[in-house]
A and B are shown apart, each in its own frame.
Chain A
Amino acid sequence: MEFGSINPVLLVASLMVASTPILLAAIGELIAEKSGVLNLGVEGMMIVGAVTGFIVAVQTGSPFLGFVAAAAGAAVLAFLFAVLVLFFLSNQVATGLGLTLFGLGISALMGQGYVGIRPPASPRWDFFGLSELPVVGPILFNQHPLVYLSLILVAATWYVLRSTRMGLVLRAVGESHDAAHALGYSVHGTRIAAILFGGACAGLGGAFLSLVIVPQWTDGMTAGRGWIALAIVVFASWRPWRVLLGAYLFGGVTVLQLNLQAAGIAIPVELLSMSPYLITILVLVIISSDRNRAALNAPASLGRAFHASH
């Protein structure tokens, strides 16, 4: 066993890359859940984003257009969910599960001719040579633009929820839709916006996987990352910075176990492969159980149907 072959700087740099899909999906779901909507279709929206982004990037040769299409494609799926849940008052849990199954199926159909193709490579920003700096260079100044975007989104989410009018209304709708409605705010408008935002984020996350991390299209390539994103939101008790922690923990263990596999450590590969899921859940459970307040932090109207007339 040669742990010396594992380069800590590269490890950190690549964990940020590996975490980004989950971080994006989780921050989108956090916004949706803060508005009181439980969308279990994250996995489905991610994979639809992955395949849409992949197809458009390959067809146009532009990874940028690919990402735009991924966000839009997943948002279309999210819109379907919004209509079913908000206007036809269908059960959120069942509809979300259906959305995931639908997304997995349609993505396989759409991606049939694209298996084994390499997508166009995305440019990296290197900040005028700052990426050549030792240690901080590869970590801070040589990442994909979406990595920066995801971090900005975390900070923006925290700020918007805490300090803006929009955030206050969003929280009011999620905590008590009856009160928000009676106070004169649009429950449906707020929730549609939140669901679409959640869908777009999940789509971006999926496309980051198929265009940057792998980069290739294979059926079911999200491999449960959408579910992990959902779990992270809950265990992070709906706090943006804890979502970041959870996502990076998952990414960190993923990269580490890949390195350990490469280093030929004498642990069964299957055990290593499951370790990111296991460790992320364990750590977040411990964090969220240290005070009994965590359970109270769930938006009070989460998962409940809203009907305007009394």
Chain B
Amino acid sequence: MGWRQRQPNLFMTQSTALRLTGLSKRFGSVVANDDVSLTLEKGEVLALLGENGAGKTTLMNMLFGHYLPDSGTVEVADENGTLHPLPLGHPQAALAAGVGMVHQHFALAENINALDNITLGSEPLRSFRRNRNRAKTKIEGIIERSGLSAPLNVPVGRLSVGERQRVEILKALYRDARILVLDEPTAVLTPQEADTLFDNIKAMTKDGLSVIFISHKLREVLAFSDRIAVLRHGKKVGEMATADADEKVIARMMVGADTPKVARTEMAPGAPVLKLSNVSVEGRAKRDTLKSVNLTVNAHEILGIAGISGNGQSGLANVISGLAQPSAGTITVDEQDVPKPSPGTMVKAGIGRIPEDRHHEGIVGAMSVAENMVIERLDDPAIQSRGLLKRDAIQANAEKLAKAYDVRGPGVTAASRLLSGGNIQKLILARVFERSPRLILANQPTRGLDMGAAAEVGRRLLEARERGAGVVLISEDLDEILGLADRIVVIRDGNLVEAISHDREQIGLIMAGEPA
């Protein structure tokens, strides 16, 4: 972490590259941005922080012309450093002024090679012949200066996620971007890839590039940015030099209160709850394929599954929840063989499932909160007798759970889709934990949740572990796994590799497929 104490580039004359003044945007009654002003100096890396829904992406979309602000101005400096107001709501104008944006989801044509993807859209329409060599020379120049390497002659579909991201950035630089906006650039990268990316970004800022990056990860923000701006509920609530910041200060600024630190006590593991022996799953894609894996989860234990997304996490989750049939191998729950796994048998065997896609696989959105809270235990005589639902009992149960798990929303009789993502997750937690499952499968349980809700999920998982449950925690957030898991297994390309220690470097190397 040698970046922490880095000083701003002193040899560069400080001048403003971008100035946002008083930007506001409403969607109906929701205020997405409220009078946000922000400046970006030339050659500076600004981290834009905030919880989900704080308005970071909206702000960047106004800068890039995707949204028309209700009020406010955007000014961008030209090559000579003079600020010019940008016509709002025109992405073409933003591009022409030198603003490049790399979205979280890449916009690349998979069958076309990287070179053509980069030049696509910046070709003059009228000329008949394309000057590919000139384009290639220019791109190679950019690669040399920035260190962002990517094979140019291979169809983008065959590139890795990290390479694709570099292609996206090259695309922006090829169009002479002087201001680069990156929306959660490291969400799909290994720790090593992320470090390399930031090294490259640093190299480019020496050439005068200014960068804004959106992130949730405090660690990389502290390590790689010059300045930090924090948004909360659409307002800018703080701005500071990174050298003056620490995790606690930023977290408090983002949430508006101190987040409780999850306390974890050491605990001796108990008997095995789940055993996978040589289990293979033939999925349609890499993400749901498993190659003869062995896995044991014990009582009183949280097993963390780390890995880059799409390396077989879905396959593992599906086979544990009974959604996918193993093509080979055996599954044992509580030392009992499960001969024909299906979602129903796995629920009955005592597996509580916190699914990755909570909106589509976790709840039935059109049904009420109360109904969703009992939908996994309709055989329970407390819920129904002879097929008739006990509506009063269901209602009382829902009110009790909503209170205990702090599920907030328009009430337990309202449709569950009206809840926010965090509250939907709390609903699922309530439903799962009320059944006191032997094993809890938590697949990306805090993805998209704000810090308070994420801390609550961690606390509940630790509570279940204390009670004697085994927990499988699948997460792409290595910090979450390091904070909660007793043991860590890395999933890569459908294989499982046990990490010997809680060492970030070592785990990162296994994630990348290098011998540790």
Task: Give residues in A with beta carbon < 8 Å to B.
Answer: 163-166, 168-169, 171-172, 175-176, 178-186, 296, 299-300, 309-310
Contacts and interface: CB of A to CB of B under 8 A. Distances in A.
Contacts of B355: 182
A166 B362 CA distance: 20
Contacts of B378: 165, 168-169
B360 interface: yes
Nearest to B389: A163
A164 B365 contact: no
Contacts of A179: 360-364
Task: Tell which of A184, A296, A300, A309 has the most Cβ of chain B within 10 Å.
Answer: A184
Nearest to B315: A310
B283 A310 contact: yes
Interface stretch (B37-45, B90-98, B305-313, B317-325): B317-325
Contacts of A182: 321, 323, 343, 353, 355, 361-362
Nearest to B325: A309
Contacts of A168: 367, 371, 375, 378, 389
> Top 5 nearest A-B pairs by Cβ distance?
A184-B344, A175-B366, A184-B343, A184-B347, A176-B364
Task: Tell which of A163, A169, A299, A309 has the most Cβ of chain B within 10 Å.
Answer: A309
A133 B314 CA distance: 69
| Chain A facing B: main interface SS | helix
22 contacts: A163-B388, A164-B388, A164-B389, A165-B378, A168-B367, A168-B371, A168-B375, A169-B378, A172-B367, A172-B375, A179-B360, A182-B321, A182-B355, A183-B343, A183-B347, A183-B375, A183-B376, A184-B348, A184-B376, A186-B344, A310-B314, A310-B323
B278 interface: no
B323 A181 contact: yes
Nearest to A172: B364
Task: Tell which of B283, B346, B363 has the most Cβ of chain A within 10 Å.
Answer: B363
Given A183-B343, A184-B342, A310-B283, A165 B364 contact: no
A208 B50 CA distance: 65
A261 B45 CA distance: 83
A35 to B, nearest CB: 13
Given A165-B378, A165-B389, A182-B361, 13 more contacts: A163-B389, A165-B388, A168-B375, A172-B367, A178-B357, A182-B321, A182-B323, A183-B376, A184-B342, A184-B347, A185-B344, A310-B284, A310-B288
Interface string B329-363: 00000000000001111111000010101001111
A171 B364 contact: yes
A165 B343 contact: no
Contacts of B283: 310
Contacts, number: 82
Interface string B275-314: 0000000011000100000000000000000000000001
Nearest to A297: B366
A175 B365 contact: yes
A165 B323 CA distance: 23
Contacts of A163: 388-389, 391
Contacts of B384: 164-165
Given A175-B367, A178-B360, A183-B347, A310 B318 contact: yes
A171 B363 CA distance: 12
Nearest to B384: A165
A182 B375 CA distance: 11
A173 to B, nearest CB: 9
Interface string B2-18: 00000000000000000
Nearest to A173: B364
B515 interface: no
B260 interface: no
B124 interface: no
B121 interface: no
A166 B361 CA distance: 20
Contacts of B314: 310
B28 interface: no
B388 A300 contact: no
B387 interface: yes
A174 to B, nearest CB: 9
Contact of B324 (A178, A180, A310): A310
B430 to A, nearest CB: 15
Contacts of B376: 183-184
Nearest to B362: A179
Interface in B162-194: none
A171 B365 CA distance: 11
A49 B365 CA distance: 37
Task: Tell which of A168, A185, A299 has the most Cβ of chain B within 10 Å.
Answer: A168
Given A163-B388, A165-B387, A171 B367 contact: yes
B284 to A, nearest CB: 8
A139 to B, nearest CB: 32
A185 B364 CA distance: 13
A61 B327 CA distance: 57
Contacts of A166: 387
A257 to B, nearest CB: 38
B387 A175 contact: no
A179 B356 CA distance: 12
A28 B108 CA distance: 48
A309 B282 CA distance: 11
Nearest to A181: B343
Interface string B386-409: 011101000000000000000000
Contacts of B388: 163-165
A115 B170 CA distance: 77
B323 A300 contact: no
A63 to B, nearest CB: 32
A309 to B, nearest CB: 7
Contacts of B344: 184-186
Nearest to B287: A310
A172 B372 CA distance: 9
